Amino acid sequence: MEDEILVYDQAVKWDIKEREYNTSKSIGFTLFDPNIPEGLDGAIIKMWIKKPGTKTPAMELTTTDGQILITDVIACKFLITPVFLDIPAGGYVYDIKIFYAGGQQHTRFEGKYEICNTATKC
């Protein structure tokens, strides 16, 4: 199942829950930012999942590895594809940063990323 998140030219907090050692659900994002006239043309998007207070990600997803897909350049839509979560259960945080072709960089999404034990309910 896909969730969809809409964002207007500001950072948004959105919490995510998944099961450990399982395939995540896909999440669609749409940006509305009049300050970025080129949209997502030539952009690189990165998502980091890490333990709070650490700098080293437990997992990284990017458009360059195909785990994040830009689905509409002009309408600024992208999709986090389903991925296998090969990290242990626990509390994590995530952020999604967009590196625009014009040189601008913005962290647009962040929040908690809870990975539940496979034996318990999320």
Q: What is the DSSP letter of 11?
A: -
- The CATH number assigned to the domain holding 22 equals 2.60.40.10
More confident site: 98 or 38: 98
Residue 119's Cβ-count burial label (10 Å; 0-12, 13-18, 19+) is: exposed
CA proximity to 109, closest of 86, 93, 121, 122: 93
Q: Does any domain span residue 98?
A: yes
Q: What's the pLDDT tens digit per position in 77-117?
A: 898 988 888 888 889 999 999 999 888 888 878 888 888 87
Domain assignment of residue 59, yes or no? yes
Residue 55 belongs to a domain: yes
Q: How many of the other CB atoms lie within 10 Å of CB of 21?
A: 13
CA dihedral of residues 55, 59, 64, 69 (deg, nearest 10) = -120
Tell me what the pLDDT averaged over the chain comes to.
81
Average pLDDT over residues 65-75: 91
Residue 97 · residue 46 · CB < 8 Å: yes
What domain range includes position 12? 3-116
Residue 121 lies in a domain: no
- Domain-embedded: residue 71: yes
Residue 104 domain-assigned (yes or no): yes
Specify the number of domains making up the chain. 1
8 Å CB contact between 108 and 31: yes
